[in-house]
Amino acid sequence: MTELNDPLGVAETWRKAGRPVALATVVETWGSAPRPAGSHLVIDGEGNFEGSVSGGCVEGAVVGEAIEVLETGEPRMLEFGVADETAWEVGLSCGGTIRVYVEPLK
């Protein structure tokens, strides 16, 4: 995997360039989940991102939360889960549940 495809490598490159960076990590999954625990998404202060923690609306929500984490400096634990009948509406089509830890990188 090259640095361009590796979210952690991208985070390091962005930090070295002086950009504020947050790291979102899937820490736990229940049921069917689109990405396994350990998956990463890096986000800068302008909302640019690389990697994946889920997809769909969940990914957009994580990016929004990450921007707030960068503004406050306080990490957050996020949880996304839906009932099977509403799964397609919010973007977690698998119907599982995921927990994502979002932290600023210093």
User: Which of the four pLDDT bands, split at 50, 70 and 90, describes residue 1?
Assistant: very low
Q: What is the pLDDT of residues 38-82, one digit of tens each?
A: 999 999 999 999 999 987 778 899 999 999 999 999 999 999 886
Task: Tell me the whole-structure pTM to 2 decimals.
Answer: 0.85
Could you give the CA distance from residue 42 to residue 106 in angstroms, rounded to a whole number?
Answer: 13
Mean pLDDT (whole number) for 82-100: 62
Identify the pLDDT of residue 93.
56
